[in-house]
Amino acid sequence: MPNHTRHTFVCFDCRNVVRLHCQTKESKCSLCHKILTHLSYDVRVPKKKDNDGWKLLEQRQIEIIQHKYRRQYEAKLGHSI
């Protein structure tokens, strides 16, 4: 597999970082078996001991997901009018 088809996934519970094929829909952490979170492009993954960095990363991922669903909902409303 070429590198450009692999994306970065993280586990916020055990702070495991995994590179998986881009077509992976949902994957579980090999260490704690919780669901992994897909990161956006150009996201710096903090070191395992950097508590503030991991909190910031998790907050950013929550904001990205909220923004994505808000746009989808607004688009749906726009089409139904």
Q: Which residue positions in the chain have pLDDT lower than 50? A: 1, 80-81
Which pLDDT belongs to residue 68?
85
Contact partners, residue 48, CB within 8 Å, separation at least 6: 15
Which pLDDT belongs to residue 2?
53
Tell me which amino acid residue 21 is.
H
Domain span at 41: 3-80
Q: What is the total count of domains within the chain?
A: 1
Which pLDDT belongs to residue 14?
95
Structure token pair of residue 31:
């260490």
Which pLDDT belongs to residue 3?
52
Alpha helices, DSSP H only, in 1-81? 51-80
